[in-house]
């Protein structure tokens, strides 16, 4: 884990492997951002000019290394671009700071300590920089023999923060807890599916529960059969690794509300009998990203001591083809008692979620939010960096969209058009697991809505796009699992605890 400290030392005097500063664009001029005055002084006021000579423009995502002059203890200065400079007296946008810090941390992979002299005007700025740096300092090397060469930055020292100020201290502690839980989700998503089976995922939840005082209940295949969880069993029946349903609960004695989080946890998705073609199954270890996000969010709520009850439901299964697998045309009797005609076994996520949503509804929470890498249609609609939000309450959908924007996660509100429901009518069962092809992401949301308890506020986050990043890293986002939606869920729990939702 990368260590985080708030330092009162000056930028010129702190010993570190590198000193991180920000540069921005003011019109056509490159300017040094606040926080780096001592560094600029060491360059005789010519830091911006030197950087321009090296080709720096101040654009976001840009990183330029240069040797330190006499007067600085750190041997290297790393200048990261912040984009356009704000008006005098205004702070840089939190997401700008978060991404810049992440870029710096990634650039300094292998270093022991870096001092971040980025602009901090308030505790919120320190929180964004800390979060970005800790998320950028991530590497998944569990299966690599020469992992030492890729070790992430070991320590982040924030300059300009106030370690004795309660607001700054709380901001740093929150940033560390949330970032570590996002990285927990990333580790799970990146873990190979031959090791992260449903049983192994459940065991990880049990271990975390023991560490953080959470109540964990695991239903194995026998308990699922006895309970009539036909959706989860129908997906997992084709695999030698049987399914699990995990309930992981955090409670607070002063809590007045309960938030239920439901995560899709397909530890590997081959498509089942409706087999995915080559080119579409190589990254399907990530199909449990929703469950990883829910798991990490519950642990984060516990670590932060939020005055709200948060219950996570992890619907875990492996979707494989075999002689015992569910076939297209089979009818499953769900936990709710409804029957579902399976027209496509690759539309399996909605089947495991349906059982978990019904079970979560039985506890009558104030709200349920499910999270899933559910449909390719959502990726086609919104791209690789934005998740879709559907809900049975427009105000709740809007609130989640605004929260996501506040914490730096791209999202977009999506409708649930009633006319698309008819496409799921089945001549054999109560409902089919497929409907019209156009608007497939919305059809999936309408299917899930059928299994939410009456009168319960519900939202569905389709994170199929941003959950797993296949391109090169950027900002604080690594290649592979991203931990998408954890920040949104944690902030949602905080708002619920505060009585704002």
**Residues acting as catalytic residues:** 276, 350
Rounded to 10 deg, the angle between the 486-497 and 394-407 helix axes is 120
The SS3 assignment for 177 reads helix
Q: In terms of Cα–Cα distance, which of 133, 131, 153, 295 is closest to 214?
A: 295
How far is C-alpha 7 from the geometric centre of its chain's CA atoms? 29
8-26 as b/e: b if 16+ CB within 10 A: eeebbebebbbbbbbbbbe
Decide if 335 contacts 321 (C-beta within 8 A).
Answer: no
Instruction: With residue 218 as reference, give the H or E element that holds it.
Output: strand 215-219
How crowded is residue 40: how many other Cβ atoms within 10 Å of its Cβ?
18
Report, in angstroms and rounded to the nearest whole number, the Rg of the chain calculated over CA atoms: 24
Quote the Cα angle for 376-377-379, to 5°: 65
Decide if 272 contacts 346 (C-beta within 8 A).
Answer: yes
Residue keyed to tokens 């995922």: 201
Decide if 250 contacts 309 (C-beta within 8 A).
Answer: yes
Distance CA 11, CA 33 (A): 13
**DSSP letter assigned to residue 149:** G
Question: Using H for helix, E for strand and C for coil, what is the string for 272-321?
Answer: CCCCCCCCCCCCHHHHHHHHHHHHHHHHHHHHHCCCCEEEEEEEEEEECC
Q: In terms of Cα–Cα distance, which of 96, 94, 64, 103 is closest to 82?
A: 96
């Amino acid at each position: 884990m990368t260590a985080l400290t708030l330092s009162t030392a000056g930028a010129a005097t702190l010993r570190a492997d590198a000193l991180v500063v920000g540069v921005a664009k003011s019109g056509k001029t490159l300017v040094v951002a606040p926080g780096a005055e001592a560094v600029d002084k060491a360059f005789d006021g010519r830091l911006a000019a030197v950087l321009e000579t090296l080709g720096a423009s101040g654009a976001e995502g840009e990183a330029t290394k240069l040797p330190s002059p006499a007067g600085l203890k750190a041997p290297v200065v790393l200048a990261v671009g912040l984009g356009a400079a704000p008006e005098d007296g205004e702070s840089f946008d939190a997401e700008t700071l978060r991404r810049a810090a992440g870029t710096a941390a990634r650039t300094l992979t292998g270093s022991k300590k870096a001092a971040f002299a980025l602009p901090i005007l308030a505790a919120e700025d320190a929180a964004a920089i800390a979060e970005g740096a800790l998320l950028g300092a991530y590497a998944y090397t569990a299966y690599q023999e020469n992992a030492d060469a890729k070790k992430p930055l070991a320590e982040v020292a924030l300059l300009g923060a106030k370690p004795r100020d309660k607001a700054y201290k709380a901001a740093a502690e929150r940033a560390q807890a949330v970032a570590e839980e996002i990285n927990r989700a990333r580790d799970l998503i990146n873990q190979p599916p031959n090791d992260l089976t449903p049983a192994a995922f459940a065991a990880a939840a049990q271990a975390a529960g023991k560490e953080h005082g959470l109540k964990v209940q695991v239903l194995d295949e026998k308990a699922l059969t006895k309970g009539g969880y036909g959706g989860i069993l129908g997906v997992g029946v084709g695999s030698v690794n049987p399914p699990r349903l995990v309930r992981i609960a955090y409670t607070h004695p002063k809590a007045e509300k309960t938030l239920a989080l439901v995560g899709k946890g397909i530890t590997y998705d081959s498509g089942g009998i409706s087999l995915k073609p080559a080119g579409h199954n190589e990254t399907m270890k990530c199909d449990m990203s929703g469950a990883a996000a829910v798991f990490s969010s519950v642990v984060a709520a516990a670590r932060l001591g939020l005055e709200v009850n948060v219950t996570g439901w992890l619907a875990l299964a492996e979707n494989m083809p075999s002689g015992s697998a569910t076939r297209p045309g089979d009818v499953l009797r769900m936990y709710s008692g409804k029957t579902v005609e399976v027209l496509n076994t690759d539309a399996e996520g909605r089947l495991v979620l349906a059982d978990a949503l019904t079970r979560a509804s039985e506890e009558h929470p104030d709200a349920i939010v499910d999270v899933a890498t559910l449909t390719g249609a959502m990726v086609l609609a919104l791209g690789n960096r934005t998740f879709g939000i559907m809900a049975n309450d427009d105000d709740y959908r809007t609130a989640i969209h605004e929260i996501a924007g506040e914490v730096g996660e791209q999202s977009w509100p999506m409708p649930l058009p009633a006319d698309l429901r008819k496409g799921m009518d089945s001549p054999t069962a109560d409902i089919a697991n497929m409907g019209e092809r156009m608007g497939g992401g919305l059809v999936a949301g309408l299917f899930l809505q059928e299994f939410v308890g009456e009168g319960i506020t519900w939202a569905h986050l389709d994170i199929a796009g941003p959950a797993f990043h296949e391109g090169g890293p950027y900002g604080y986002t690594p290649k592979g699992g991203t931990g998408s939606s954890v920040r949104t869920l944690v902030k949602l729990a905080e708002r619920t605890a505060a009585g704002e939702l």
